[in-house]
Chains A and B, each alone.
Chain A
Amino acid sequence: MTIKLAWRNIWRNKRRSGVILTAIVVGLLGMVFMIALMDGMSTDMVEVAIENGVGHVQIHKQGFLDKMSVKLNINSPGYVIKRIEGTPNLEAYAERVKVRGLISSAESSSGVLIWGVDHEREPKLNSIKKNKDEGEFLTGRKGEIYIGRSLAEKLKVGIDDKIVLRGQGLATEIVSAAFRIKGIFVSTSPEYDKYNVYINLTEAQEFFDMNDRVSEIALMSDSLDNVELLAYDINEVIEVQGLKASTWKEIIPLIVQMVELFSAFNYIVFVIVVIAMAFGIVNTILMSVLERTREIGIIMAIGTKPIKVFSMVMWEGFFLGLMGLVFGWIVSIVIYGILLKTGIDFSIWSDSLKYMGGIGTTVYPIIKPYYVFWSSVSVFIAAVLSALYPAVKIMRLTPVKAFRSV
C-alpha cells in the first residue's frame, strides 16, 4: 500500500511532478552533454595533434625530445626498423629528420621546425598532405618545400617562389640552401602552419650532413587503446641502443594537461548540476509533503507508524528519480543521435578554438559508458536523497501538531 500510495501521490499534482521531472531531465541532459562535449573536444584535440605529425609513438635518441639537437639522432634507422617490423599493433611507420632552423624570403624571415619526410610514408601518419590548400605535396624531387598558409603570408611568397632555409648541420656549423615552394597547406591551427615546413627526407639528410641518420621514427598503432602496449613492446627491443619510444602523451604533455583540465571541469560541472538539481527537488517535494500535513496527521492518528510515512515519501523520491532518469535518457539519446550527425557548431568562437590545440569548429559529443553509468547513478541518488529531508521532517510530526498546522 505504501508503494501504491507513493506512486499515486506523485500524480496528485501533475504540474508539480512535471516540474521535478523536468529538473531531473534537464539536469541529466546538461550533465551528460557538458561532459560529452568536453570529451568530444578532448578527443578532437588529441586526434588533431596525432594527425598533425605527432603520431602515436615516436622513437628518438634518449634526450632528443628535451634538446632537439641534430647530434641526438638514430644512426642506424634501417636496423631499428628491421627490429620493430612485425611488432603487434604496429600499423605504419615513417622516418623523419627534424631540425630547428630559419626560413627567409626577400620580404621576411621566421624561425621554423624543418621536417625531412618520406613523401610516400609520411601521409600514412600525418594529415599534412590532406591539408593541401594550393600546389602539391612533396614528390621526392630535389629542392621542394611544403609550407603553411600563414607562413606563406608572412613571407609574402606563393607557389614556385624561392626561399632559403638555414639550420644547424651535424658536421658543419650552419648550413643553408634554397628551395622552391611546391605546395601550401592549411591545418586547423595557424600557429602550426606558421612554424612547420616540410622537405624531402633524403634531401634533409644530405642538407644537414646526416648520411643515413634520422632524428625520429614515428609510429602509428592500430588503435589508440593499444598505444601504451606498442610503446612498451618497442622499448623492449630498442632500449639497449640508447633509444626510447615515447607515446603521444609524453610528447605533447600540454594537450594531456588540457584533457585532464577538461576532465576536472567535468567533475566540477557534475557536482554543481547534481547539487542544484537536488535543491530544486528537495524544495518541491517538501512543498508537496507539507501541503499534506493534516492528511498525514490523520493517517498517523488512525494507526500508521511514522516509519511508514517516511518510506512513503522516500518511495515518492524513488519514483521521481527513476522516471526522471528514464525520460532523461530517452531525450538524451534522441539529441545525441542528432548531434552525432550534425555536431555542435562553434564557428562563432573559431578564432579562439584555433589556439586550443587546433580543434575544429564543429565538435561532436562523445558519450562514454563510464559517464553514462556515474551520471545516472548520481542523478538517481540525488533525487532519492532529496526526498530524505522532507521524509524525516514529516515523520517527526505528531498527529496533534499536524492538526494544529492547518
Chain B
Amino acid sequence: MTDKIIVTKKLVKIYEESEVKVNALRGVDLTVNEGEFMAIAGPSGSGKTTLLNIIGGLDVPTEGSVVVGGKDLSGLSKSELSDMRLNDLGFIFQSYNLIPVLSALENVEYVMLLQGVPREERQRRAVEILEDVGLGDYIDARPNQMSGGQQQRVAVARAIVSSPEVVLADEPTANLDSETGESLLIMMGEMNEKRGATFIFSTHDKMVMDHSRRLVKLKDGKIVEDIRK
C-alpha cells in the first residue's frame, strides 16, 4: 500500500488586494501518494500555483488543512516551514531558478550546504546527479553559459539531489521550446522512477499533462477532474 504523502482538506485561500477579495481556492481536497508523477492543470487564475505554494509551505491557507509527509503545516513556525522546505521538498520554478554567480556544481551543492552535508559527500553527490541529468561537462559552467533547457536540468538536479519526499515544479517547461521541454520531462520521469521522488507539476502545458500519470484539473479554485492514467 502506497503511503499518502500529501493530504489537503477543504483548502481555502482568499487574497485581499486593495479592498478586492480574490478566492484563489474554494475548498480543495487532494491526496497525493508517494511516487506519483502528477500534474495540476488549469487556465490562468484557476489556483494551481496557489495550491502548489500552500503545499510547499510558501503560503498559508485561509481555511482548511494541509499535511505533508505527516506534518500538519498549520502547526509549523516560519523557521520550521523553512526547514521543511529545505529537507523534505524540492522546488523547480519557471525561471530564475539558479543563483547566477554560482556554477552548476555550486548551485546543486547549495541545498546540501544548507543541510550541513560535508564537503566531499556534497561534491560527490552533486557531480553524480549532474552526470545523471546529462550535464557532466557543464559542472563549472555558470547559468549564463548554459541554455534554458540546461539551466532547468540543473534546477532539477538541485531539487532532487538531497532526495526530497516531494518535488514541486511550477510551470517548469513554460520558457522552453517543445523539444527541450519534452527532454526535461523524460528526464524527470526517469528521476521519478529511479529515485522514487514524488513529482507534482503546476502547468497549462499539454505536453506536461500528457506525460503525467495523474492529472488533476482545477477551475476557479476547485478540483473539477482527477484522472489517473
- What residues of chain A have their CB less than 8 Å away from a CB belonging to chain B? 1, 5, 8-9, 11-12, 294-295, 298-305, 308, 398-400, 406
The size of the chain B interface, using a CB distance under 8 A, is 25
Q: Which residues of B contact A406 (CB under 8 A)?
A: 96
Which of A8, A302, A400 has a CB less than 8 Å from the CB of B102?
A: A8
A399 to B49, CA, bound (A): 13
Interface of A is mostly: helix
Given A295-B96, A303-B114, A399-B58, answer yes or no on A9-B83 (Cβ-Cβ < 8 Å).
Answer: no
Q: Please give the distance in Å from A312's CB to the nearest CB on chain B.
A: 11
Q: Are B91 and A305 in contact (CB under 8 A)?
A: no
Q: Are B101 and A12 in contact (CB under 8 A)?
A: yes
Q: Which residues of B contact A302 (CB under 8 A)?
A: 85-86, 90-91, 110-111, 158
Q: Are A303 and B85 in contact (CB under 8 A)?
A: yes
Given A8-B101, A294-B96, answer yes or no on A400-B86 (Cβ-Cβ < 8 Å).
Answer: no
Given A8-B102, A12-B100, A298-B96, answer yes or no on A303-B56 (Cβ-Cβ < 8 Å).
Answer: no
Residues from 103 to 129 in B contacting A, C-beta threshold 8 Å: 110-111, 113-115
Q: Is B192 an interface residue (CB 8 A)?
A: no
Q: Are A301 and B91 in contact (CB under 8 A)?
A: yes
Q: Which residues of A contact B115 (CB under 8 A)?
A: 303
Q: Of B56, B87, B91, B101, which is in contact with the most chain A CB atoms at under 10 Å from its CB? A: B101
Which of A298, A300, A400 has a CB less than 8 Å from the CB of B97?
A: A298
The 3 closest A-B pairs by CB, nearest first: A303-B86, A8-B101, A399-B58
A8 to B93, CA, bound (A): 23
Q: Which residues of A contact B96 (CB under 8 A)?
A: 294-295, 298, 406
Given A398-B58, A400-B59, answer yes or no on A304-B101 (Cβ-Cβ < 8 Å).
Answer: no
Which of A5, A300, A303 has a CB less than 8 Å from the CB of B99?
A: A5
A-B contact pairs, 15 of them (CB 8 A): A1-B113, A5-B102, A8-B101, A11-B101, A298-B96, A299-B99, A300-B82, A301-B85, A302-B85, A302-B91, A303-B82, A303-B86, A303-B114, A305-B82, A400-B59
Q: Please give the distance in Å from B45's CB to the nearest CB on chain A.
A: 14
Chain B 59-81 per-residue mask, 1 if CB under 8 angstroms from chain A, else 0: 10000000000000000000100
Q: Are A303 and B83 in contact (CB under 8 A)?
A: yes
A5 to B56, CA, bound (A): 25
Q: Is B150 an interface residue (CB 8 A)?
A: no
